[in-house]
Structure 1
């Protein structure tokens, strides 16, 4: 009884003296210089709040929900300072605060990739001792609704050999390079998640504005309050996609059947190995290097007493996205390595045979239902359980032509608004100098829509963090086999979308990486050179230095007799062909993709490239148009020309 009383008193004390400051304000924070400083937090409803910082004093009053916000006057770079907030008997203090430039670093795995995985990692980590670079890593969280706080601890940490190894390499090397010319404290906020699509980083209004996502966003809104209803609805949407597929390849079952339904056709189903696990390790040639979808199904026999209980389906780890049905109803979908546990609606199970069907989508390396057998079972309210593996599993391969199914909007990396809600919204309106964006690998093949969404992301960041917030875009790097002839490339088309978004806006810049990727690794280790290129772009776009920001850019193309001439700008010195006189990677094309032909190209007049090729009715020129092209066009600053596509007589 005494213990319970102490707990109650402690809880009351915590309520009376809440943490006054939002979690982003803490020891070692960096605040943005040369502009008013927004500060906010939570206090007792209606309470007055006093904020003291660097000799300045401002007050605010909490609203009926306890939320308060204030604005501190503009400060020059410097520190350390102390931020102190008082309200009633509560006081909170944040020490060792610096004033400088703050950057949001966001995107997918190449932004997340840590310093310990880069070139010369041991040396870089051993030399990391810079207290004027401070780093905050936002906890990786996906939520269906916008949050006002981080999901876990997110300390500001100085750049030391202990703190740097697991921080974003692109972000850290950028700040380190930038500080050579901008000698002020640098604050780095890393909000990134491997494999994430751009849709997950957009807020609902931006995504609706981009078009085509209303249905998914409506289901997500349902999911926030009623996950079971949302899962059932999404199962129907998924099924609609499946039914609309054309018949699959010869010898495979028709896509018009419905494998998730009890009593579905047995055509194409095979017995899975008892141990399950990574299907690429089953010893079957047709699955040894397969990436795509596999159907799995099993049957569980229940008694009437078991079926009447509240129940949860445990599936263990499914790599990498599952869509799961029980007795024909959608019950869950998740992404990544977390164990799947889906609460089933009352009345869904029945006495006798119950059919569990899982569609597993795997896009990289091995996959499938890979957890141990002990993680797969039906669990009941009375504590009992029934293993799923007792009756054995069957599998069915889905031809690659089926493509990617609709992905549930509540997923993390591939969801709709989920990473914005869990990782960007908690930053409030924190003062930023700019944002770095390295993402796109998960959206290749969708270049047309990607441009619209990247523009929406830019506008969303500016609406939250300030008009004309600079955006520095990393163009995705070369990856994959080097082509031997002109090809259709989703990566190249996405790079073009990134180029055009950067080009259209004076407050945006781009870092070219087409020459520093790795053919066999989508995560190139040379993040030091990326940091240098990002810093150079920032010096021009953000700080107004009169230097070429990112390498030669195409300005125009024109016919000149039987040849085509491309003029370039933003050249430091003159154009150079690394490795010889001839240029690699130029193509002339007609209107159709299969009309492109490699062109002999050479530099003329230090700022032009002249091309020769036999392409009847050529209408455009392409450069570095492949997933992993070989390129050798640079300027005297050692900066590469980036990939592009340009219509003749077009001027950029």
Structure 2
């Protein structure tokens, strides 16, 4: 009897990418040939060394299809995948702010009451750190719909993106969650992309850390730490943390967990360079997708000055893996003060690097959420807005709608006596401010802060001062680790951070 094994992404209820070649692969024993049928097409696949790969012609959007695989000349299929849809598929990738479960979102009670949309399907990749790791992950490894038990443990930004974009494009939307909290970008990249400076710093740091622990001790400590990580008591405690705690409760939580096992950096750690590329991402490719939604960078704050190179290399790595110039829509890091003893003081550097990626890497788009941050939590709770802004960006950049979908970007400024006029792109008809003052706007002249007398808003910003000398004026906006931006365009998208010298 033939035995056919498909990658986990191929299951009942799946969504296949429309208008792109359909790639099917897997393993087979007990036969030398397979026949695959889908949407009226039939194709043969030869078995070589127990593996097969084939391609079906691209299809338009469709619902309720069936994919069948026959071994040899058999008339009855050995594999039948039912309720298969064809639409647009996105990968929701990154670290904890993309992984962030729906049940933690500020809008969860509202979301649970929405009328069900069966044209949205979700899939969580199993979070496995090393070969042979055995984890109980019931929410991972299968396609599901709204209201099913996996739903509350799915990416809130990814789901809210799908919920916002699906009614607009009118075809099924699939979201593949491929994310893991705390992970640096280098964990999601193939090793060769990290060989050369400055990215080789990640390999060096890993080797220095891993080399400091004996191999047997490394395994013992790692397995002990993973047992604690997956324990029921830790999961309950961590769930409380993700719902949100103030500083006092966080300090108490850290005291109570101070003696918990610590996972040493090494071959069992999910943060290690290339680890999750090998264990998670490669298992998806070359499953055709429309694009990537990316929310990550917090764990790269220590090397924020090179994050533009890191992220640009990651984008190239993923596009090479898929052999497809996939669009990347990503989230600029939110404002953040302190959480579990770490701070957001290095975030402005990461945000600047993220701006450079937007300018230098084609096929990318960035949303700003400088109005959604939380001082006492690295995880902003309003992920619904994050998903909606990503969907708005996709409508403009991917689907070609003529809409205002990007945050205002500073483009220049000039002096007019005791006034300074600042210009922005992506404003719509007029900028507006929530309140009576513009938060996080600082103006310096001669090394001293000077106050703004008043301001006027149109498609730009006119600042009025009591008096200005002839010295250059330095302007900074939203350049702190934490701030609360309240200056928006016509689409209620916040103005992006900037700094400038006006002569």
Q: TM-score, normalised by structure 1?
A: 0.64
Shift in Å, 1:91? 1.9
- Please give the alpha-carbon distance, in whole angstroms, between the structure 1 residues aligned to 2:83 and 2:289: 19
**Does residue 73 in structure 1 map to residue 57 in structure 2?**
yes
Between stretches 114-123 and 582-591, larger displacement belongs to 582-591
The residue aligned with 1:566 is: 422
Contact between 1:234 and 1:408, CA under 8 Å: does it hold in 2? no
Contact between 2:199 and 2:310, CA under 8 Å: does it hold in 1? no
Contact between 1:217 and 1:416, CA under 8 Å: does it hold in 2? no
Aligned mate of 2:438, from 551, 575, 583: 583
- Please give the alpha-carbon distance, in whole angstroms, between the structure 2 residues aligned to 1:87 and 1:616: 82
- Please give the alpha-carbon distance, in whole angstroms, between the structure 2 residues aligned to 1:606 and 1:310: 62
Q: CA RMSD in A?
A: 3.7
The residue aligned with 1:104 is: 91
Aligned mate of 2:487, from 633, 636, 646: 633
- Please give the alpha-carbon distance, in whole angstroms, between the structure 1 residues aligned to 2:202 and 2:385: 42
The residue aligned with 1:525 is: 381
- Please give the alpha-carbon distance, in whole angstroms, between the structure 2 residues aligned to 1:115 and 1:215: 32
- Please give the alpha-carbon distance, in whole angstroms, between the structure 2 residues aligned to 1:556 and 1:491: 24
- Please give the alpha-carbon distance, in whole angstroms, between the structure 2 residues aligned to 1:620 and 1:336: 51
- Please give the alpha-carbon distance, in whole angstroms, between the structure 1 residues aligned to 2:64 and 2:469: 64
Change (3 A) 1:563 1:456: farther
Change (3 A) 1:626 1:73: same
Unaligned regions of 5+ residues in structure 2, if any? 232-250
**Does residue 31 in structure 1 map to residue 16 in structure 2?**
yes
Aligned mate of 2:4, from 6, 15, 19: 19
The residue aligned with 1:197 is: 184
**Does residue 434 in structure 1 map to residue 291 in structure 2?**
yes
Contact between 1:577 and 1:603, CA under 8 Å: does it hold in 2? no
Change (3 A) 1:517 1:335: farther
Change (3 A) 1:369 1:100: same
Report which of the two structures shows the higher radius of gyration computed on alpha carbons. Answer: 1
Shift in Å, 1:189? 0.3
Shift in Å, 1:131? 1.5
Contact between 2:140 and 2:150, CA under 8 Å: does it hold in 1? no
- Please give the alpha-carbon distance, in whole angstroms, between the structure 2 residues aligned to 1:310 and 1:568: 57
Contact between 1:31 and 1:102, CA under 8 Å: does it hold in 2? yes
The residue aligned with 1:293 is: none
Contact between 1:634 and 1:641, CA under 8 Å: does it hold in 2? yes
Shift in Å, 1:337? 2.8
Unaligned regions of 5+ residues in structure 1, if any? 1-15, 221-229, 237-308, 319-333, 340-361, 377-406, 482-486
The CA deviation string for residues 266-296 of structure 1, in whole angstroms up to 9 with x for no partner, is: xxxxxxxxxxxxxxxxxxxxxxxxxxxxxxx
The residue aligned with 2:497 is: 643
Change (3 A) 1:586 1:430: same
Shift in Å, 1:532? 1.3
The CA deviation string for residues 213-246 of structure 1, in whole angstroms up to 9 with x for no partner, is: 27837987xxxxxxxxx9873449xxxxxxxxxx
Shift in Å, 1:467? 3.1
The residue aligned with 2:461 is: 608
Change (3 A) 1:118 1:62: same
Change (3 A) 1:537 1:186: same
Contact between 1:503 and 1:509, CA under 8 Å: does it hold in 2? no
Between stretches 412-421 and 77-86, larger displacement belongs to 412-421
The residue aligned with 1:369 is: 259
Richer in helix (by share): 2
Q: Secondary structure at the match of 1:446?
A: helix
Contact between 2:419 and 2:462, CA under 8 Å: does it hold in 1? no
Contact between 2:337 and 2:345, CA under 8 Å: does it hold in 1? no
Change (3 A) 1:629 1:231: closer
- Please give the alpha-carbon distance, in whole angstroms, between the structure 2 residues aligned to 1:208 and 1:615: 51
Q: Secondary structure at the match of 1:640?
A: coil
Shift in Å, 1:210? 5.7
Shift in Å, 1:97? 0.3
**Does residue 545 in structure 1 map to residue 401 in structure 2?**
yes
Which structure 2 residues correspond to residues 184-583 of structure 1 after superposition, within 5 A? 184-209=171-196, 211-213=198-200, 216=203, 233-235=211-213, 337=229, 365-366=254-255, 367-370=257-260, 408-410=265-267, 412-480=269-337, 489-560=345-416, 564-580=420-436, 582-583=437-438
Which structure 2 residues correspond to residues 116-127 of structure 1 after superposition, within 5 A? 116-127=103-114
Change (3 A) 1:634 1:315: closer
- Please give the alpha-carbon distance, in whole angstroms, between the structure 2 residues aligned to 1:235 and 1:511: 41
Q: Secondary structure at the match of 1:628?
A: coil
Shift in Å, 1:586? 2.0
Contact between 1:434 and 1:471, CA under 8 Å: does it hold in 2? yes
Change (3 A) 1:214 1:509: closer
The CA deviation string for residues 433-452 of structure 1, in whole angstroms up to 9 with x for no partner, is: 11111111222242211111
Contact between 2:219 and 2:268, CA under 8 Å: does it hold in 1? no
